[in-house]
């Protein structure tokens, strides 16, 4: 749709009483790609972007986090002799954007589209500062997005195993902002870095609620004297200080209360145990001081998995050892996997190479 069409829709919705959204700045396009940003230079220091002076190509496509300097690349990606001279970890860089605000009325909302492109998946936490003051620390929980593999370079960094995506709409109180010059700084910690799809700030009367929550089932279960329980995470996200509160979670017929304290903006995650169930049930999250639940929905238990572990399942022919010796190792691993499969038929595994089909146990299997 062209610009005139978008403008017409905005005017029409305003005519029927919809609230006005004022977009203060925007970087990037919401298209699942980071190509409009700086993909050439690797960011090692803080970056400052000025609205009206800088261009999208000045904003780093990838922003490193804590583990980028602490967990080194494999020898497939860089020579270990050269790498040994750069083993010192450094603090993750901070990206700052400078902009102007003409009014501090309404609620400000940061909108972020983040792409996670990893060989080792470990989502970071997001720390936001506004005008030098903390605006919260937020958990990132990307969903798998394999459709982004091809348009974003796929194997560009070698053996990329995970693509994920997350959209965030983070409301912030107007007290953090001032008329005139302002700045927002982003830093990622406790994980690997992220790629930017888009980053924008709006001022809106109908922004997301200042306090929200989510009930997140996990694949983890425990045996208790009362029976099997599933571990769940309750994430509370607040754009104001809540102080000491009581959390009430209802999952089907189960009711759980837990005290917590949140003295800063951002997220807090509480771990709870609920009786294991087989079917989806209604659920809600309430916080003392609010007359209505802050979240209502459906709790769907995660699938119950059995995990099997082998000390090793893969070796590189001619790299770990001579090809014949390496194949002998892998044949031993296959012996173990076949024994596991005799007891647990649902157990599955992946062969490393066509040479593994020489194994007598594999040749005897029937394939469909």
User: For the chain, which domains are there?
Assistant: 19-204 (2.60.120.260), 211-299 (2.60.40.10), 306-368 (no CATH)
Q: Return the pLDDT at 65.
A: 93
Q: Is pLDDT larger for residue 49 or for residue 9?
A: 49
The partner residues of 166 in beta bridges, in order of sequence, read 114
CB contact set of 321 (below 8 Å; sequence gap of 6+):
315, 329
Cβ neighbour number for residue 59 with a 10 Å cutoff = 21
Burial of residue 252, with CB atoms counted within 10 A of its CB: 0-12 exposed, 13-18 middle, 19 or more buried? middle
Residue 167 vs residues 25, 78, 93, 229: alpha-carbon distances, Å: 17, 33, 22, 31
Among candidates 28, 49, 43, which has minimal Cα distance to 90?
A: 43
Decide: pTM greater than 0.85: no
Above 50 in pLDDT, residue 10? no
Q: Return the pLDDT at 14.
A: 32
| Cα–Cα dist 368/351, whole Å | 16
* Mean pLDDT confidence for 182-190: 96
Contact present, 99 and 177 (Cβ < 8 Å): no
Q: Return the pLDDT at 1.
A: 39
How many alpha carbons lie under 13 Å from residue 7 in its C-beta half-sphere? Answer: 3
Q: SS3 of 58, please? A: helix
Q: SS3 of 175, please? A: helix
Above 90 in pLDDT, residue 204? no
Q: Return the pLDDT at 142.
A: 93
Contact present, 286 and 252 (Cβ < 8 Å): no
Range among 10-19, 75-84, 156-165 with highest mean pLDDT value? 156-165
CB contact set of 331 (below 8 Å; sequence gap of 6+):
356, 359
Of the candidate ranges 192-196, 227-231, 240-244, 342-346, the one whose mean pLDDT is the lowest: 342-346
pLDDT tens-digit series, residues 82-129: 655 555 668 899 999 999 999 898 889 999 999 998 777 789 999 999
CB contact set of 279 (below 8 Å; sequence gap of 6+):
301
Q: Return the pLDDT at 336.
A: 82
* Mean pLDDT confidence for 326-349: 80
């Amino acid at each position: 749709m062209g610009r005139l069409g978008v403008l017409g829709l905005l005017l029409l919705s305003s005519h029927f009483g919809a609230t006005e959204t004022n977009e203060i700045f925007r970087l990037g396009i919401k298209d699942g790609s980071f190509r409009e940003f700086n993909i050439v230079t690797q960011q090692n220091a803080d970056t400052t972007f000025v609205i009206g002076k800088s261009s999208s190509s000045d904003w780093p496509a990838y922003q490193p986090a804590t583990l980028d300097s602490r967990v080194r690349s494999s020898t497939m990606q860089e020579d270990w002799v050269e790498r040994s001279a750069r083993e010192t970890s450094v603090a993750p860089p901070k990206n700052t954007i400078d902009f102007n605000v003409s009014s501090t009325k309404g609620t400000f909302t940061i909108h972020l589209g983040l792409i996670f492109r990893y060989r080792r998946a470990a989502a970071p936490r997001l720390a936001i500062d506004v005008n030098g003051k903390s605006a919260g620390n937020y958990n990132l929980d990307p969903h798998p997005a394999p459709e982004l593999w091809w348009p974003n370079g796929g194997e560009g960094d070698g053996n990329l195993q995970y693509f994920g995506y997350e959209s965030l709409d983070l409301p912030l109180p107007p007290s953090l902002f001032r008329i005139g010059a302002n700045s927002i700084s982003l830093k990622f910690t406790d994980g690997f870095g992220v790629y930017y799809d888009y980053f924008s700030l709006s001022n809106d009367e109908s922004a997301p609620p200042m306090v929200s929550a989510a009930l997140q089932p996990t694949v983890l279960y425990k045996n208790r004297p009362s029976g099997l329980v599933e571990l769940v995470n309750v994430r509370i996200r607040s754009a104001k200080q809540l102080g000491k509160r009581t959390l009430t979670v209802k999952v089907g017929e189960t009711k759980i209360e837990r005290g917590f304290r949140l003295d800063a903006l951002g997220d807090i995650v509480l771990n709870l145990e609920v009786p294991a169930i087989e079917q989806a049930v209604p659920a809600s999250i309430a916080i003392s001081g609010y007359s209505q639940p802050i979240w209502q929905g459906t709790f769907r238990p995660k699938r119950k998995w059995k995990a099997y572990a082998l000390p090793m399942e893969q070796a590189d022919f001619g790299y770990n050892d001579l090809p014949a010796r390496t194949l002998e190792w892998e044949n031993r691993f296959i012996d173990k996997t076949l024994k596991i499969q005799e007891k647990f038929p649902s157990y599955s595994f992946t062969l490393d190479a066509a040479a593994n089909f020489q194994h007598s146990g594999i040749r005897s299997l029937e394939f469909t």
